[in-house]
Amino acid sequence: MHFKPTETNPMQNITLHYQEGSSDKVYQVAITESSAGYIVNYSFGRRGSTLSAGTKTQTPVSLEIAQAIFQKLVQAKLAKGYKPAENGTLYRLPENGNLDTGVRCQLLNSSTEAQLENLLLDHEHWMQEKFDGRRLLLRKVGTKITGINRKGQSTAVPDSLIEAARTFDHDFLLDGESVGEMLHGFDLLELDGEDLRSKSYKIRYQRLMNLLSRVQQGGIRFVETAFQPTQKQALFRQLKAEAKEGVVFKHAEALYTSGRPNSGGSQLKFKFVETASFVVKQINEQRSVALLLFDNAKVRDAGNVTIPVNCEIPAVGSIVECRYLYAFRESGKIYQPVYLGVREDIDPEECSTAQLKFKPQPEGAVA
């Protein structure tokens, strides 16, 4: 088996691909040299999505051991039907692990169907596409680039995105959604040491567009925004017809407030498809796992989801993301669930029944 060297990783690396039915997965393995030895990192996920990344060596090991770990991982994936593919962009893990950066992102509540018409027709809320990716804040200080997940922890970043960030002369802290190797930037929290969180969204967005328009690079782009009612309605119809995930409404005068409001808020999301995060309760037979959600102090059974054959079965207690059609109001179980993967950037307390969209009630039914 031949492994191509890369500029950022002179050691061995390989990209493997699995495609069958609706499954379209990528798995990457790489040996990287450190000052104290060698480490074996991996990344995996749906092709075209932002990959999850980790390491098989918590501390550096000898080259011989690293190569043995590398070969074992590759052979295990080949046995499951993966095939070698053209090398993809490798993900660079944080040097000191997933440390708390102290940065907290703003989280959104969902808008209701009743609110939607007003949000589309008013002049105060701007509308953007809600991307089907992974939340990622990117911080640049000099030549140091740090990826930050929605929990505020340092996280893996594609090498291509790191190189894109380094083309800017300015330091910044940018908030966005990572889809594959592209970061869709929708907010700017800091610029050259200035904290912008206390400024209105329209000022922050203008500063973001000015920043990104100064440099020609292919890794970071600002999110298309509809400002007027006619623009919002047209974009809404377009995104829904294209089966996108949904839209986000942001009040033009809103400040950047970390965390999630108890209800409402100056920024709201509306999803065309339903997804939610669940805790794995137990592993069942025939490659399925039982799911649970929290309902205040109670634990609710949310049903089962089948794990595709090319995915590792998640451990009990881990957080997983599922797409579903709706939830049954009586039982709280989800209907037609589809497993999307493990979420390491979600806390267990976020896995609540408040996420669920229930099956519509027949006309005349008593709520």
Query: Chain-centre distance of CA 359, in angstroms?
Result: 27
Domains of the chain, residue spans: 13-91, 109-271, 274-355
The model's pTM: 0.78
* Rounded Cα–Cα distance for residues 181 and 188 (Å): 19
Q: Domain spanning 274-355: which superfamily? A: Nucleic acid-binding proteins (2.40.50.140)
10-residue mean pLDDT series, the chain (367 residues): 39 84 82 87 82 86 93 91 79 78 94 92 97 93 95 90 94 95 96 98 97 92 95 96 94 96 92 93 94 93 92 93 92 92 91 89 49
Dihedral angle over CA of 101, 340, 303, 115, nearest 10: 70
* Rounded Cα–Cα distance for residues 321 and 302 (Å): 13
CATH number of 109-271: 3.30.470.30
State the pLDDT at residue 180.
Answer: 83
* Rounded Cα–Cα distance for residues 211 and 173 (Å): 11
Same topology, domains 13-91 and 274-355? Answer is: no
Question: Which class is domain 13-91?
Answer: mainly beta
The count of residues in the chain is 367
